[in-house]
Amino acid sequence: MLAPPEDIHGMNIAVVKKILGQGCTPLIITVNQPFKVLTKIYTKEGIDSSKFYVIDTVTQYSGGVCEENPRVHYINNPSNLTDLGIAISEVLKQMPDKKKCIMFDSVSMLLIHIPSATASKFFHFVVNKLKLSDVSGIFLCVEKGLDPVILSQMSSFVDKIVDFEPEIIAKP
Amino acid sequence: MSQKIVLSHKTGFFSEDDDNLFKAVFDRIQTGIIIIDPDTHSIVDANPIAEEILGSSKSEMINRMCHEYICPAKEGTCPVTDNNTAIANEERIFINKKGEKVAVQKTVAKVKINGKEYLVESFVDISDRKKADDRKVALIGFMNESVLRIRRPLELTKMNMQLIADQVKSGEYESEEIRMELQIQANNISQMIKNLDDLVRMVAEERGEEIPKEFREFLLGK
């Protein structure tokens, strides 16, 4: 899903609400906000913190304390794609057997840490893993935040590239 | 201007002592020209620029098959005589005597000389232009990667900073939470600076000799 930079936080919240509204359990992969802050923001927005799982790649990166929580898995650095891949598999296994959906926030921030060509390969790997596990996935990205070549590569393995429109996603 | 052009199997169409306008043009034009007998597909003449581009002498080329030198098509699949395809100002790759690829723009025309049909293959070396095009593509790639890995994340960082400012104002966030968020933004900015340095270094290394030595050293941080 693509949105202008000023809408990316709004898109995150709207997408999590939409996933929960569909009876899915979201797994949020955050390369932007630490788990503690994310939980506070979601709670403020009326999202129950017992309803989602998180892979947090930035708490350790910021020198923060990784508080024990069965719903959160910490990675030491957003550029550690090996651990991130393993964590995705582990947390998906740990999640209850009902519908699951991962939300990656955001592709654009991950590009600070790795080159776009590596990011493209990583997302291809993740999408394949999701397809094999019958899990849905949503990747948030700043509009025009992807190389047209990479966007066309990604469009070959994702189902759809969607422009975020707040008023549309807000409808039940 | 009705001079008779005589084909010699040793020297091509023109002998060394020929003194006519066509020979003068053939020898001095800054375009490679190869004349081919379409019946046998053998080379019957080549001018000095063709020798230079292909790295082979005229004597090495005469009586050799054209697909050994200037055309990748196999025998019996000549694009001009077998497939009736026109070749006009098309980009092709020749392999010279050293085995190096040479980008050329070539045209093949049918002509009648002394009542017999020949193929006149003319070509210019466009390697420099291709290199310039490749550099342009590399530069666009560099700009593109810079925008993706620096400009867009900077826009997001700006939004994050605004969000953090709002969080401080709300008084609902602990100082450690704010510190962590600020530290993430600081680390990200450091990484963006590193990315920019890496991209500049890559360009400096790739462009090599084209960049003045002192400036290259400055870019490489020497």
What confidence score (pLDDT) does residue B3 get?
Answer: 47
B191 within 8 A of A112, measured Cβ to Cβ: yes
Band of residue A167 on the pLDDT scale cut at 50, 70, 90: low
DSSP per residue, B17-51 = T---HHHHHHHH-SSEEEEEETTTTEEEEE-HHHH
Look at B155 and A142 and tell me if their CB atoms are within 8 Å.
yes
pLDDT at B208: 60
Q: Is B197 helix (H, G, I), strand (E, B) or coil?
A: helix
Query: How many domains are contained in chain B?
Result: 2
Percent over 70 (pLDDT), chain B: 83
Please report how the helices A8-21 and B152-170 are oriented relative to each other, as an axis angle in degrees rounded to 10.
Answer: 80
Q: What digits encode the pLDDT tens for the residues B15-71?
A: 656 667 788 888 899 999 999 999 998 999 999 999 999 999 999 999 888 877 777
Q: Do A44 and B145 touch (CB under 8 A)?
A: no
ipTM strictly over 0.85? yes
Which amino acid is located at B102 in the chain?
A: V
Is there a domain that residue B98 lies in? yes
pLDDT at A69 over 70: yes
Same structural domain for residues B52 and B109?
A: yes
* One domain, residues B149 and B119: no
| Residue B181: per-residue pLDDT | 96
Task: Name the residue range of residue B38's domain.
Answer: 21-125
User: Do B58 and B104 have their domain in common?
Assistant: yes
Bond preceding residue B2 cis, omega within 30 of 0: no
Using CA coordinates, name the residue in chain B closest to A32.
Answer: B184
CA distance A157 to chain B (A): 21
Mean pLDDT of B120-138: 85
Q: Does B149 share its domain with B104? A: no
* pLDDT mean over B176-184: 96
Closest by Cα among B34, B36, B35, B5 to B19: B5
Please state, in angstroms and rounded to a whole number, the distance separating the CA atoms of residues B100 and A57: 49
Query: What is the mean pLDDT of the segment spanning B80-104?
Result: 85
Mean pLDDT (chain A) is 89
- Residues B140 and B121 occupy one common structural domain: no
Domain boundary pick from B94, B125, B156:
B125
In a domain, B3, yes or no: no
Assess if residue B2 is contained within a domain: no
Tell me which of B125, B158, B186 is where a domain ends: B125
B72 plus B155 within the same structural domain: no
DSSP B68: G
pLDDT above 60: residue A160: yes
Interface test with A, best of B145, B147, B149 (most A CBs within 10 A): B149
- In terms of domains, do B91 and B38 share one? yes
Same domain, B40 and B86: yes
In a domain, B121, yes or no: yes
- Per-residue confidence (pLDDT) for residue B18, from 0 to 100: 60
Q: Which domains does chain A have, with CATH numbers?
A: 2-101+117-140+157-165 (3.40.50.300)
Same domain, B119 and B135: no
Q: What is the mean pLDDT of residues B211-216?
A: 60
Mean per-residue pLDDT for B181-197?
93
Is the residue at B74 inside a domain?
yes
Query: pLDDT higher for B105 or A97?
Result: B105
The answer, yes or no, to whether residue A172 has pLDDT greater than 50, is no
Coil vs helix vs strand at A96? coil
Q: Which of B101, B125, B149 is the last residue of a domain?
A: B125
* B6 in any annotated domain: no
Residues of chain A with C-beta less than 8 angstroms from the C-beta of B201: none
Residue B169 has pLDDT above 50, yes or no: yes
Query: Would residue B4 count as lying in a domain?
Result: no
Q: Give the CATH number for residue B58.
A: 3.30.450.20
| pLDDT at position B1 over 50 | no
Within an 8 Å CB–CB cutoff, is residue B190 touching chain A?
no
pLDDT digits (tens, 9 = 90+) for A107-134: 889 989 998 888 888 998 999 999 998 9
3-state secondary structure of A31: coil
Q: Which residues of B touch A34 (CB under 8 A)?
A: 177, 180-181, 184
Does A32 sit within 8 Å of B156, measured CB to CB? yes
pLDDT tens digit sequence for B70-81: 777 777 778 888
One domain for residues B110 and B165? no
Is residue A48 over pLDDT 50?
A: yes
Q: What is the mean pLDDT of residues B178-183?
A: 96
Whether B149 and A112 have beta carbons less than 8 Å apart is answered as: yes
pTM of the predicted structure, to 2 decimals: 0.65
Q: Are B115 and B136 contained in the same domain?
A: no
Interface A-B, measured as beta-carbon pairs within 8 A, has a size of 82
Residue B145 C-alpha, separation from nearest chain A C-alpha, in angstroms: 7
Same domain, B55 and B36: yes
Q: What is the pLDDT of residue B15?
A: 61
Q: B54: number of CA atoms within 13 Å, CB side?
A: 25
In a domain, B14, yes or no: no
Partner residue facing B145 (CB), from A116, A144, A145: A116
